[in-house]
Amino acid sequence: MQPQGYFSYIRVSTVRQGQTGTSLTEQRSAIERYSSRWALSIVKEFEEQETAAKLGRPIFRDMLRALKRGAARGVIIHKIDRSARNLKDWAELDELIDQGIEVHFANESLDLYTRGGRLSADIQAVVAADYIRNLREEVKKGFYGRLKQGLSPLPAPIGYTNEGAGKPKAPDPVQGPLVRRAFEFYATGNFSIRLLLPRMEELGLRTKRGRRVGETTMLRLLRNPFYTGVIKIKRRGEIFAGIHKPIVSTRLFHQVQDVLNGKKVEKALKHFFLFRRMARCGSCNTTLVGERQKGHRYYRCQISGCPQKTIREEKLEEAFITTLQRLSLNEVENNFLRNEIRAAYDSLTSLKETQSRALRIQIEQIKTRLSNLTDAFIDGSVDKEVYLEKKNRLIFEEQAAKEQLTSLDEVGQQAIHKVEQFLELANNAYSTYEMATVEERRDFVKIVSSNLVVMGKSVSIKLHFPFQVIVDREAVPSGGPQRDVDRTLLALLGQLREYFKKSELFPQEEVKHEPVRINPGRLHYQRIQAYRLRTCRFLYKKYD
């Protein structure tokens, strides 16, 4: 039986055009006028909001399948470029015409049953395909032109706002600080994505549409280097230097990537030992294993035949406490260092100029290397994969140097301030440890010490760099020459300042004290203890 009626097909390139434009209405009106003039009955309308430049339009495919099944005599389309702007789709329509299925174009007078009409239609289809190719090239030029200017042509991610065409994205005054907070929380290694989500929801982090942030969105946020001031095109794996203001530093971003990649995840402890996986055997250099015997904790070497005997945990803790007591500075040292720190605040200008000059030279050298790398890529000396890898690394280095240059006003003061806090911590290290819980004591041991070696019954303890500098200082007798005090403590102060210049300043967490019935004096000491432990983590947050 001969099918009756015709399909109509209308299309716009984007959903936005379909919602706000008039093209669909105009196409529908033109098709209705055409069908009325030629007495063609429309039995079904197909409407699509998808570009014809790409293959795989679902509604267009459904219509072609229905025509092949004989569901209609033919189809009425507004114009050739509404049906296809790629030659494969046009070839399928051409095949339908050969099978006797009618194809009408409401706005074009083409006789598709004559050789001349088919030739004219083929030419128009080729012109439409060429038009879209040219349009694609022009869009690509504009897209990568913006990227080379440091501008992102893509919508702003969470934490940034769109400022209009030709302008960099601006940090959102509300969501921007929350995004940084999310990076800081996750960098500690104490949060999983699932634990981070309710915390950030409580603080007020939301998507662009005001909805709660899901796991996938949070993971995408933490992986996005846009927040460091660069723009990454995921499809090509290429990174461009941006001119928008970064929200997080490159150092913090890479710390988060390490946590996401599982490089800083610690396993939960089944049995608690204060020095678990910290003490080593002096004979065979293997890690001592903790065990419980008769109500005491012991550490033993697991290598058979090793002469090292077991050692009680109290013996290790006693050696550690003795080392902590050596961190305390005497009155002469404290007075001298306080005076030098006050003087250091006044001498930052010349230091800033020197560092600024060095950073500008470093940035220019990176730009030169980028230019040479691009020339080598154009000449074919390096392949694309190597080019992208080296280019991305250089752009990250350039961004890190720019961050240092931008924050140069604060770097010196931050370093001196951290030295002040560190010296206060060193002076109170023993009392802080004594006031801590057993879990906090283990945390304190991990932060302060780097190596514990047991040889027989003697224990040798080496501390992490800034603490070891204090321990290794030369003894300053009270009646010694003042120049000896200068020489020793000035060198110590210089080492500490250089160390803390390289460290990332982490914000301290607020501590919420639950209302408990306790002696007010004891509560005061507990708060001091909490402050000191936070300061210790704040100053020494896995810098090595």
- Among 143, 173, 196, give the residue marking a domain's end: 143
Residue 159 scores a pLDDT above 90: yes
Q: Is 92 exposed, middle or buried (0-12, 13-18, 19+ CB in 10 A)?
A: middle
**Are both 365 and 252 inside the same structural domain?**
no
Residue 21 scores a pLDDT above 50: no
Please indicate whether residue 162 or residue 412 has the higher confidence score (pLDDT): 162
Residue 24 scores a pLDDT above 90: no
| 340-383 per-position pLDDT tens digit | 777 776 666 666 777 788 888 988 999 898 888 888 888 888 88
**Are both 130 and 202 inside the same structural domain?**
no
Q: What is the pLDDT of residue 542?
A: 38
Q: Is residue 256 situated within a structural domain?
A: yes
**Are both 215 and 134 inside the same structural domain?**
no
Residue partners of 244: CB distance under 8 A and separation at least 6 = 150, 152, 160, 168, 169, 170, 171, 226, 229
Q: Rounded to an integer, what distance in angstroms lies between the CA atom of residue 540 and that of residue 437?
A: 20
Q: Is 541 exposed, middle or buried (0-12, 13-18, 19+ CB in 10 A)?
A: middle
Structure tokens at 418: 């951290």
**Are both 394 and 542 inside the same structural domain?**
yes
Q: Rounded to an integer, what distance in angstroms lies between the CA atom of residue 511 and that of residue 316?
A: 31
Residue partners of 281: CB distance under 8 A and separation at least 6 = 287, 288, 301, 303, 306, 308, 453, 454
- What amino acid occupies position 45? E
pTM of structure: 0.49
Q: Is residue 95 situated within a structural domain?
A: yes
**Are both 460 and 367 inside the same structural domain?**
yes
For the chain, the C-alpha Rg in angstroms (whole number) is 35
Residue 29 scores a pLDDT above 60: yes
**Are both 337 and 388 inside the same structural domain?**
yes
Alpha helix positions (H), 69-114: 80-83, 87-98
Q: Is residue 110 situated within a structural domain?
A: yes
| 382-405 per-position pLDDT tens digit | 888 888 888 888 888 888 888 777
Q: Is residue 284 situated within a structural domain?
A: yes
- Angle, vertex CA 376, rays to CA 374 and CA 379, nearest 5: 110
Q: What is the pLDDT of residue 23?
A: 79
Which residue in this structure is represented by tokens 């057993």? 438
Q: What percent of the chain has pLDDT over 90?
A: 17
**Contact call for residues 244 and 167 (beta carbons, < 8 A):** no
**Are both 228 and 311 inside the same structural domain?**
no
Q: Give, as one character, the DSSP assignment of residue 308.
A: P
Q: Is residue 419 situated within a structural domain?
A: yes
Alpha helix positions (H), 4-78: 15-20, 23-37, 58-68
**With bands split at pLDDT 50, 70 and 90, how would you rate the model's confidence at 182?**
very high
* Residue 66: CATH number of its domain: 3.40.50.1390
Q: Which residues of 185-202 are buried (b: 16+ CB within 10 A; e: fewer)?
A: bbbbbebeeeebbeebee
Q: Is residue 273 situated within a structural domain?
A: no
User: H-helix or E-strand containing 135?
Assistant: helix 115-148
- Among 93, 114, 143, give the residue marking a domain's end: 143
The DSSP string of 380-439 is TSS-HHHHHHHHHHHHHHHHHHHHHHHTHHHHHHHHHHHHHHHHHHHHTHHHHHHHS-HH
* 3-class secondary-structure state, position 134: helix
- Among 82, 113, 143, give the residue marking a domain's end: 143
* Residue 230: CATH number of its domain: 3.90.1750.20
Q: Give, as one character, the DSSP assignment of residue 40.
A: -
**Containing domain of residue 213, as a range?**
160-260
Q: What percent of the chain has pLDDT over 70?
A: 81
**With bands split at pLDDT 50, 70 and 90, how would you rate the model's confidence at 42?**
very high
| 67-89 per-position pLDDT tens digit | 989 999 999 998 887 776 678 88
Q: Rounded to an integer, what distance in angstroms lies between the CA atom of residue 3 and that of residue 44?
A: 13
Q: Is residue 154 situated within a structural domain?
A: no
Highest mean pLDDT out of 223-232, 319-328, 475-484: 223-232
**With bands split at pLDDT 50, 70 and 90, how would you rate the model's confidence at 107?**
confident
**Contact call for residues 159 and 171 (beta carbons, < 8 A):** yes
Instruction: Look over the chain and give the mean of its residue pLDDT values, rounded to a whole number.
Output: 79
Indicate the angle between helix axes 408-427 and 482-501, nearest 10 degrees: 120
**Are both 339 and 429 inside the same structural domain?**
yes
Rounded mean pLDDT of 187-195? 86
**Are both 91 and 35 inside the same structural domain?**
yes
User: H-helix or E-strand containing 293?
Assistant: strand 289-293
Q: What is the pLDDT of residue 346?
A: 63
Residue closest to 98 by CA, chosen among 112, 108, 84, 81: 112
Residue closest to 180 by CA, chosen among 226, 216, 147: 226
**Are both 102 and 205 inside the same structural domain?**
no
**With bands split at pLDDT 50, 70 and 90, how would you rate the model's confidence at 408?**
low
**Are both 417 and 352 inside the same structural domain?**
yes
| 424-480 per-position pLDDT tens digit | 888 888 888 888 887 788 888 888 888 888 888 888 888 888 888 888 876 544 444
**Are both 397 and 523 inside the same structural domain?**
yes
- What amino acid occupies position 42? I
Phi, psi (rounded to 5 degrees) for 449: -100, 150
Q: Is residue 265 situated within a structural domain?
A: no
Beta bridge partners of 231: 240
Number of domains in the chain: 3
**Contact call for residues 213 and 202 (beta carbons, < 8 A):** no
